[in-house]
Amino acid sequence: MVSGYNMVLSRIADGANVKIVGAGMKKCALTVFARPDEISTLADLKDKTVAVGPKQGLLHTLMRQLLKAKGIDASHVNFINKGSNDECHAAVVNGEADASCSSISHLNDKDGLVVIDEADMWQAMPRCIFQTAYASDSAIKEKHAAMIAVMASYGALYDYLMSPASHDAFFEARKRAQKTFDMGSAQAVRDFNQTQRPYSRDLSLTAGDIGYMQDIFIGLGSLNRRQAFATVADMSAANTAASLTV
């Protein structure tokens, strides 16, 4: 139900019997952090080291697309694989990288890093879908009713998550889920959910949404060609789920 987007389209093009069936988080909850005395704009990343995940992974892909959207040549940036976005952020704190593509969960960290100008991806790339839901072709055919129920429940959960009423439940859930609860991180995520409303009760995606993402991956070299919407996606369960009251 919630997964990074970037490689599924190329896997489908290679013959995987999978389709995109909806959205998780629609807005990209990522930005770029750096030490304030060295980098203040995206243009300052030229000849600098930027921590991302694996090559062609989600962080690397979205960072390259951000630079492209701002007219900056990514070939002049040294990308290094530091793993997860938390590990990428830590690499800058520890002096192993000049900047990182990292989660908004670090916005309240007291580590001396700052967000550089025009790096908030949800603003710089408003049409970019951050997370999607997938299902096998067999599940779409044989477990359609169950998919509808699950997606309707997620839609209701997202709606609740973005409402003021979820305040106490949100923090309690974070305390239960995290090995070491971080109040600053939790508050950053909560603030983002409330102000940016990155989710939607309606989990469906349009042909335009998926076409835009295909164009991104074609432009970055991880996808060879556009495929028809019906070849890569099936929104039947999401559309039905959106019409239900949970």
77-98 pLDDT, tens digit each: 999 999 998 999 999 999 999 9
The answer to whether residues 103 and 145 belong to one domain is: no
Residues 116 and 238 in one domain: no
State whether 49 and 135 are in the same domain. no
Same domain, 20 and 116: no
How far apart CA 188 and CA 31 sit, in angstroms, is 13
Q: Does residue 35 contact residue 12 with C-beta atoms inside 8 Å?
A: no
DSSP assignment of 41-69: BGGGGTT-EEEESSTTSHHHHHHHHHHHH
Domain total for the chain?
2
Q: What is the pLDDT of residues 119-174, one digit of tens each?
A: 999 999 999 999 999 999 999 999 999 999 999 999 999 999 999 999 999 999 99
How many residues are given for the chain?
246
Task: Provide the domain limits for residue 150.
Answer: 3-27+128-162+197-242
DSSP SS3 for 38: coil
Q: How confident is the model at residue 56 (pLDDT cuts 50, 70, 90)?
A: confident
Residues 86, 11 share a domain = no
User: Is residue 187 a part of any domain in this protein?
Assistant: no
Query: CATH number for the domain including 11?
Result: 3.40.190.10
Q: What is the pTM assigned to this prediction? A: 0.92
Least Cα distance to 32 among 77, 72, 88 occurs for: 88
Q: Is residue 90 part of a domain?
A: yes
